[in-house]
Amino acid sequence: MRDHKCKALILDSDADVLITLQRTLENGGVDTTITWDNVEAQNLVRTIPFDVMLIGDHPPEISVEHTVRDFRLRGASSPCLVLRTTAAGKVHTERLHRLGVAGVLPKKEPEKVLQEVQKAVS
């Protein structure tokens, strides 16, 4: 990892997922900001230089693809990792990669998410 503490944004609508991922990432040396609100996430991305952004597959008000596009329009160039509840289909995964998503991960496997965050920012 870099010399400074990695900053990660986690956006998901499941509080249990947010808390579990936050705890795992913080224990792994990652400074996390969590939100379940897409509008708040867009505002955070505009003001905080995150090293990586984790986007859950169920922010209730908007699609993952739309969220990634909005992050990019707001100047966020950090890697985006999508957190999936179920396995992503090949077509969906390919579409996300074309948007610049660095990976699609199972949200219920926090240790795997931590490993991918560490890879994405190294």
Domain ranges of the chain: 7-121
The CATH number fitting domain 7-121, selected from 3.40.50.2300, 3.30.2000.10, 3.40.50.1700, 3.40.600.10:
3.40.50.2300
pLDDT tens digits, one per residue of 87-102: 655 557 788 888 888 8
End-to-end CA distance of the chain: 5
Predicted local distance difference test score (pLDDT) of residue 8: 97
Q: What confidence category does residue 1 fall into, taking pLDDT thresholds of 50, 70 and 90?
A: very low
pLDDT at res. 59: 58
- Are the C-beta atoms of 52 and 81 separated by less than 8 Å? yes
Highest averaged pLDDT of the listed ranges 6-10, 12-16, 117-121: 6-10
